[in-house]
Amino acid sequence: MSIWWLLPAVVGISLFMTGALRRYALARSLIDIPNARSSHSVPTPRGGGVAIVISFLLVLPLMARGGFIAWPLTWALLGSGTGIAVLGFLDDHGHIAARWRLLGHFAAAIWALFWLSGLPPLLMFGFTVDLGWFGHALAAVYLVWLLNLYNFMDGIDGIASVEAICVCIGGAFLYAILGFAGSAQLTVWVMPVLLAAAVAGFLFWNFPPARIFMGDAGSGFLGITLGVMSLQAAWVAPQLLWSWLILLGVFIVDATFTLLRRLLRGDKVYEAHRSHAYQYASRRFGRHLPVTLAVAALNLFWLLPIALWVGWSGLDGLVGLAIAYAPLIGLALKYKAGELESR
């Protein structure tokens, strides 16, 4: 069985299902109404990210049965992704207390790590370091933070979709350059390509100006799925974890920098706000499109070459991470990430 006929099928399912979900959201009044903490000005349906979830998860058993994807990775993605999507869907339809959401997030992370065999040994400054149970706990926190930051960063039209597609394309390109595309490790090449196809169908409706928003179901799903893929890649080659962290740099730096600033100020971090760098930038430019396109450019022309440098040419991962993140931190400072909005 070839995966190539599946790619347009996944795009098509996501595309048409997003349209159906838009009609459903309009009929059920599942609308984001702009308020003082919003980055949009027009009431817009939400929950379209369910199309990404379904179109991607539908093909996983087919890929596993065809021998393209290992069953442990399939169960990791199916279980964690479904759990987070259902939790997000319920939260989109009615509020779920933060403590119960967090409990569900850790349950999904633990499920994924069980099937992945936890955190692989890390490669740092030429040495391989096995962190044992501490590493597994660290990996759980990493997955939970990644799915939450993806939710935080899904605040303007198209940004979360474009980020996911760029990261997936970068990940697939990494594996092709490193020679895994034609080997028994085909798994790591197939997964990001299929996810990019699922997100591409949704992006047709979400590209600025968006006709539907992703919602918590889609953003949380993308966060944990990309996290699982990054850990799986590290089992293939230890340096690839650093490469994936570099590819995810735009979201990681903005969300983490903003969170730390708000924590130091004593803010309630789960309260809605619009103090991320990308939100300040969208207000400065007066629209979302330039910021979304800038995120794509940063991913493809800055982060991807450094990720390839780490994965292919032997640059130490921590050094590469520092090089990649330095200008992103500069942009976070320039666009006042985490600062109180002046009134």
Residues at the binding site for Mg(2+) are 151, 216
* Cβ contact 206:213 at 8 Å: yes
Cα distance between residue 66 and residue 69, in whole Å: 8
CB count in 10 Å sphere of residue 184: 8
* Cβ contact 192:142 at 8 Å: no
- What single string gives the DSSP state of each residue in 268-297? -TTS----SHHHHHHHHHTSSHHHHHHHHH
Question: What are the strands, taking DSSP E only, across the chain?
Answer: 31-32, 44-45, 122-124, 127-129
3-state secondary structure of 129: strand
Residues tagged in the binding site annotation: 151, 216
* Cβ contact 324:245 at 8 Å: no
Which residues, in sequence order, are CB contacts of 276 under 8 Å at separation 6+?
Answer: 152, 153, 155, 254, 255, 258, 337, 338
CA distances from 24 to 49, 202, 206, 222 (A): 13, 15, 16, 22
- Token pair, residue 69, equals 């994807």
Cα distance between residue 89 and residue 99, in whole Å: 17
The angle at the Cα of 327, spanning 244 to 156, to the nearest 5 degrees, equals 70
The whole-angstrom distance between residue 74's C-alpha and the CA centroid of its chain comes to 18
Q: For the CA atoms of the chain, what is the radius of gyration?
A: 19
